[in-house]
DNA sequence: TCATTTGATGTTACTCTATAACATCTTCGG
DNA sequence: CCGAAGATGTTATAGAGTAACATCAAATGA
């Protein structure tokens, strides 16, 4: 056995995501890594991201096809994401009660929940006050 | 003006989604439509889907990159999706209270919510009883 | 009526995201 | 040393979505 342990590359990708102020796509990470590893391929990036996700260190943003680092303080569980469609920032809201409410709701209808994905698009405080509220929101 | 009205093609796509027992990708719909319109292109499919979504007749499933028809009874608002990772069926759970709880949670942290996406992966009643609970869940 | 404009649709080509398939290397037990 | 099992490298391809521009059709107004 001995390797779903994180290696130097995994750590480097995690560091990229920690340093970024917004979610990065796998191909953003690929470009970033190419500086140090010119021959690295998409498969390697996705393998690292999968490992990091299992370790609770990163989380995929389904509605953006992108990835974020998880704050070390939060438990290794999915969180509610608040995604600003103006500046691209993503806030991870630790609201265990809300997640519970969602899984309870689907359980009530006979479903067996396993992996909740909760992402809310909108505007962060800064952008809401700065910009014209009439804006189009990307997918 | 006179055309964000739905045309025959839009209706045909909606009918495909209504008839399907699981979400269809835009390219599934493309293949289906090619029988009647051999030269139709992806752009046309996406244009129709955008129109149908605005009309509240279809909803995108972000975690599957696919589309479902909305039950006519439900209001034209996003619903909580319960996605079975075994059989692929998606149940649309009408739980306005839960959606409100989610938007309230992010509002509490200063965010201005606009478009909530709530999708829960797991197993439907049938699959949970029939199959081995140890399974891998796709993204 | 006819030119102008405006939005819808067709068409081509492309970008971005993700994975399949298979080769190669490494580690470890025997 | 040998073989198995897993990690990693490498190539190629599938799948999702959009940009850009041509073309067409209906509406408008002189
Ligand atoms: Zn913002
Ligand atoms: Zn706003
Ligand atoms: Zn099922
Ligand atoms: Zn289950």
Q: Which residue has its C-alpha nearest to nucleotide C8's C1'?
A: B3
pLDDT at residue A115 tops 80: yes
Q: What is the pLDDT of residue B66?
A: 98
- Whether residue B119 and residue A117 make contact (CB cut-off 8 A), yes or no, is yes
- Average pLDDT over every residue of B115-132: 91
**What percent of chain A clears pLDDT 70, i.e. is strictly above it?**
91
- Average pLDDT over every residue of A40-50: 98
pLDDT at residue A137 tops 50: no
CB-CB neighbours of A103 under 10 Å: 20
Q: How far is CA A130 from CA A16, A87, A124, A134, B56, in A?
A: 28, 11, 10, 12, 31
> Minimal Cα distance from B101: which residue of A?
A98
Q: What is the band of B133 on the pLDDT scale with cuts at 50, 70, 90?
A: very low
Q: What is the pLDDT of residue A130?
A: 82
Query: CB–CB of B119/B62 below 8 Å?
Result: yes
Q: What is the pLDDT of residue A131?
A: 64
Q: What is the band of B75 on the pLDDT scale with cuts at 50, 70, 90?
A: confident
- Average pLDDT over every residue of B35-54: 97
- Average pLDDT over every residue of B106-127: 97
Q: Is the CB of B5 under 7 A from strand C?
A: no
Query: CB–CB of B138/A117 below 8 Å?
Result: no
Reduced to 3 states (helix: H, G, I; strand: E, B; else coil), residue A133 is coil
Please tell me which of A74-83, A124-133, B41-50 the model is most confident about, judged by mean pLDDT.
Answer: B41-50
To 10 degrees, the CA torsion angle through A16, A51, A65, A57?
Answer: -50
DSSP symbol at B24: B
- Average pLDDT over every residue of A118-122: 98
The closest ligand to the CA of B134 turns out to be: 4
Query: CB–CB of B124/B86 below 8 Å?
Result: yes
Give the residue, A82 or B95, on which the prediction is more confident: A82
Domains of chain B from N-terminus onward: 1-69 (1.10.10.10), 77-139 (3.30.1490.190)
Give the residue, B48 or A136, on which the prediction is more confident: B48
Q: What is the pLDDT of residue A109?
A: 95
Report pTM. 0.91
pLDDT at residue A135 tops 50: no
Taking the C1' atom of every nucleotide in all shown strands and the CA of B42, the nearest one is: D17
pLDDT at residue B68 tops 80: yes
The string of pLDDT tens digits covering residues A84-95 is 999 999 999 988
DSSP symbol at B40: -
Mean pLDDT, chain A, whole residue set: 91
Q: What is the band of B1 on the pLDDT scale with cuts at 50, 70, 90?
A: very low
Q: Is the CB of B65 under 7 A from strand D?
A: yes
Q: What is the band of B139 on the pLDDT scale with cuts at 50, 70, 90?
A: low
Nearest partner of B99 among A101, A124, A107, A81, judged by Cα: A101
Nucleotides of C under 7 A from a protein CB: 7-13, 16-21, 27-28
- Is B125's Cβ below 8 Å from some Cβ in A? yes
């Amino acid at each position: 056995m001995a390797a779903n342990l994180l290696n130097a590359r995994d750590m480097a990708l995690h560091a990229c995501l920690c340093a970024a102020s917004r979610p990065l796509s796998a191909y953003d990470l690929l470009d970033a890594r190419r500086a140090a590893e010119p021959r690295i391929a998409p498969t390697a990036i996705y393998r690292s991201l999968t490992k990091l996700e299992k370790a609770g260190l990163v989380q995929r943003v389904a509605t953006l096809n992108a990835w974020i680092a998880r704050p070390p303080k939060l438990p290794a569980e999915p969180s509610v994401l608040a995604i600003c469609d103006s500046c691209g920032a993503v806030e991870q809201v630790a609201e265990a009660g809300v997640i519970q409410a969602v899984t309870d709701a689907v359980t009530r209808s006979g479903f067996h929940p396993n992996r909740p994905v909760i992402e809310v698009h909108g505007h962060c405080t800064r952008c809401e006050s700065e910009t014209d509220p009439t804006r189009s929101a990307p997918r």
